[in-house]
Chain A
Amino acid sequence: MKAQNLKIKDYCRISNNKVLLNDKLLFEDPTSDFTTFIKLAYKKMDTNYPKFFKMDDLSKLGFLATDILLKPMTQDPEMPKNIALVFSNSASSLQTDRKHQKSITDKENYFPSPAIFVYTLPNICLGEISIKHRLHSENSFFIFNHFNADYLHAYASSLIKTEKADEVLCGWINCDAEDYEAFLYLVSAEGSIAHKKEEIIKLYTTK
């Protein structure tokens, strides 16, 4: 597959209490906080994966956006599963890091939670996704100041060009306090949008 022939097959956005697939609104709940919103979205999307509720907010966000994009593919045993994951954000796992820090600050009341500690790395989110979709593929989680279309474009193109992956799920999953955003897109041989930096920026900035 030549990198210049690659396409963006589908894209998913979760932000501002909305879930969109290819700009089509799948779910909206304007009034709830993130915890309630993501739980309602999970139920609406018929995700059915009880471990979801044990995840931290970053993993919930990445997991749900990925599930919307990959579920139709990974449920089909005939479909190729060499789908690499290339995620990025600016806050890393800061929200969960703060929770963990809070639990270890008071030496008289020192009870760190193992269930929180295991999420003090952003790439744990990729592990959760790989387990659910049975992916044994390449995965990377990059930390940037801002959404970096240039880097994601080059990295995804390289993975496919060098035959490390058949398809690449790329994007931005950021979560800090009540500020959250997921934007994921699937780079593939199929699709109607050209896999170009300008197109990625256009999709990302059209909110």
Chain B
Amino acid sequence: MSDLKQELKEKIITQLNLEDIAIEEIADNDPLFGDGLGLDSIDALELIVMLDKDYGIKLTDPKEGKKIFESIEIMANYIAAHRTK
């Protein structure tokens, strides 16, 4: 699980172009949106595409993302339970 969390942090920084943020600055329970990493609605859509492309998880309802993308911890748990690749 810790490997998956590390992988997610790397992907989020790279794919969402978070130029000034280092992996070690993202705690597992930090909120990804709002006061945390400050991600926006386009980032949320990118994360939905990432789940599909990299882990074979299709979110049919974008509202599901609100809970799944709350933190790295929650995201990693969801991916581990639902991944098809």
- Chain A residues near B (Cβ < 8 Å): 39, 50, 53-54, 111-115, 118
Contacts and interface: CB of A to CB of B under 8 A. Distances in A.
Interface of B: 16-20, 38, 42-43, 45-46, 49, 52-53
Contacts of B49: 111-114
Contacts of A111: 49, 52-53
A141 B69 CA distance: 36
A56 B49 CA distance: 19
10 contacts: A39-B19, A50-B19, A54-B42, A111-B53, A113-B49, A114-B46, A115-B17, A115-B43, A115-B45, A118-B42
Contacts of A39: 19
Given A114-B42, A114-B45, A54 B17 contact: yes
Contacts of A54: 16-17, 42
Best-buried of B18, B19, B20, B52 by chain A (most CB within 10 Å): B19
A50 B45 contact: no
Contacts of B38: 50
A108 to B, nearest CB: 12
B20 A115 contact: no
A39 B17 CA distance: 12
A118 B19 CA distance: 19
Contacts of B16: 54, 115
B19 A53 contact: yes
Contacts of A112: 49
Contacts of A113: 46, 49
B38 to A, nearest CB: 8
Contacts of B43: 115
Contacts of B53: 111
Given A113-B46, A115-B43, A50 B20 contact: yes
B33 to A, nearest CB: 15
Best-buried of B16, B49, B52 by chain A (most CB within 10 Å): B49
Contacts of B17: 53-54, 115
A13 B75 CA distance: 44
Contact of A53 (B18, B42, B46, B52): B18
A39 B19 CA distance: 10
Contacts of A114: 42, 45-46, 49
A28 B55 CA distance: 43
